[in-house]
Amino acid sequence: MDKIIVNGGHQLNGTVEISGMKNAALPIIYACVLVGAKCTIENVPNVRDVALSLDILRGMGAIVNKINDTTVEIDCTDVKPGTSEPELAKKIRASYYLMGAELGRFKKSKVAFPGGCDFGGRPIDQHIKGFEMLGATVTSTCDYVEMTADEHEFYGTNIFFDIVTVGATMNVMLAAVLAKGNTIIENAAREPHIVDLANFLNTCGARISGAGTDVIKIKGVEKLRGSTYAIIPDMIEAGTYMVAAAATGGTIKVTNVIPKHLESISAKLEESGSIVEEFGDAVIVTGRSKIRKANVKTHPYPGFPTDMQPQMATLLCLASGVSYVSEGVYEKRFRYVDELKKMGASIKVDGRMAVIEGGLPLHGTDVVAVDLRAGVAMIIAGLVAEGTTTISNIHLIERGYDDVVGKFRSLGADIKKVSEPD
């Protein structure tokens, strides 16, 4: 079993280049099924969820060629709907974008129920509501979701989501691009990756406007064409290295970013005592020896991202005073707290709220990456802990972080990956 070992006590300094955003790359990769022609996608992160998604598409008949480390050519001309390998599709959340993509192009779809990190119940009722409103007949079990639609009765419509959901906004957008007439999605999520998916689809001939606001308008088109498109930088990967600078008291220049996407993270880091300087496509974060307490509430974009919650909570373990972290997106996203407690943190969780009594020293020990972002929070904790932290279950970190060990090491961390027999 692979593990990451971190010896704490080293300040991080230097420059780190951010990869393409996982949560934009994944829907765009699945959108290639909708496009049905050769697409060249650039700035693709080298992460497991992407590799697995490309394997899923290959298994469905796509021709996938890696041009270089970050560019991939995907030709889904001959893909057959309903042929994704269930065992692969069940491993990740993003495989659910196949539903919208298959339905939009073929007017039928069958995809295994998606997996992903365990943050409590993660229903897909809003996706299904949107597909049904467009004209699909949906049958779902706990194993798979199957849909059919009559070509002549698959029409654009007005869809008002009951909650703000990233996944359903993108999935319904995918399904609606080739529907007849106009679709309006209201109470849409506004994340930068939604804008990225819309921009990609528009370069392929779609007519989507309003992405990035809570009202997205889609004029149906008959056909899409292939295109070349570069994925936006990963704001969560960037935020993670920004927090690492703040936690270790170092100075890190985080490059290949869009500073606007980082505003809620930069603001919270400044509130907790760090200095954040913004440049065109970079930010420099300088941590200071005294970290201030802060309260954090996660929200959909442009609020503080839930995917930065474990990293920020780890930083607040080092702050003097009591900080309150409240989770506004998922019902259960504090499973990592028990791991931080093993390292000496004092945190009490009550439902969706964690109360952190900061300032207690952290010490290295054996901890588990309970999910993707929680795993990287363990690395940050290990960087500032006294002694050695050994993190297991690191395949979860590798799902979404490109060369995480190499990047931290280049900043001066004493970190390595080891393989042990199971």
Active site residues: 117
Nearer to ligand UD1, 161 or 229 (CB): 161
**Which residues contact ligand UD1 by CB under 6 A?**
23, 26, 93-94, 122-127, 163, 165-168, 189, 306-307, 329-330
Q: How far is the CB of 324 from ligand UD1 (least distance, A)?
A: 20
Nearer to ligand UD1, 257 or 318 (CB): 257
- Burial grade of 86 (CB within 10 A; 0-12, 13-18, 19 or more): middle
Of 132, 90, 133, 127, the residue nearest 111 (C-alpha): 90
Q: How far is the CB of 89 from ligand UD1 (least distance, A)?
A: 13
- Burial grade of 418 (CB within 10 A; 0-12, 13-18, 19 or more): exposed
CA atoms of 324 and 374, how far apart (whole Å)? 17
Q: For ligand UD1, which residue has the nearest CB?
A: 167
Q: How far is the CB of 389 from ligand UD1 (least distance, A)?
A: 24
Q: How far is the CB of 118 from ligand UD1 (least distance, A)?
A: 11
Nearer to ligand UD1, 167 or 358 (CB): 167
Q: How far is the CB of 158 from ligand UD1 (least distance, A)?
A: 18
Nearer to ligand UD1, 123 or 406 (CB): 123
In 60-208, alpha helices (H): 86-89, 97-106, 125-134, 166-176, 192-203
CA angle at 394 for the pair 392 and 395, rounded to the nearest 5° = 135
Nearer to ligand UD1, 90 or 122 (CB): 122
CA atoms of 226 and 203, how far apart (whole Å)? 8
Distance between first and last Cα of the chain:
5
Q: How far is the CB of 154 from ligand UD1 (least distance, A)?
A: 20
Are residues 13 and 241 in contact, defined by beta-carbon separation less than 8 angstroms?
no
How far CA 120 is from CA of 117, 177, 352, in Å, comes to 9, 31, 11
Nearer to ligand UD1, 102 or 191 (CB): 191
Those residues whose C-beta lies under 8 Å from the C-beta of residue 245, and which sit 6 or more positions away, are: 12, 251, 252, 274, 285, 286, 287
CA atoms of 196 and 228, how far apart (whole Å)? 13
Query: What per-residue string of b and e applies to 313-323 under the rule 16 or more CB within 10 Å gives b?
Result: bbbbbbbeeeb
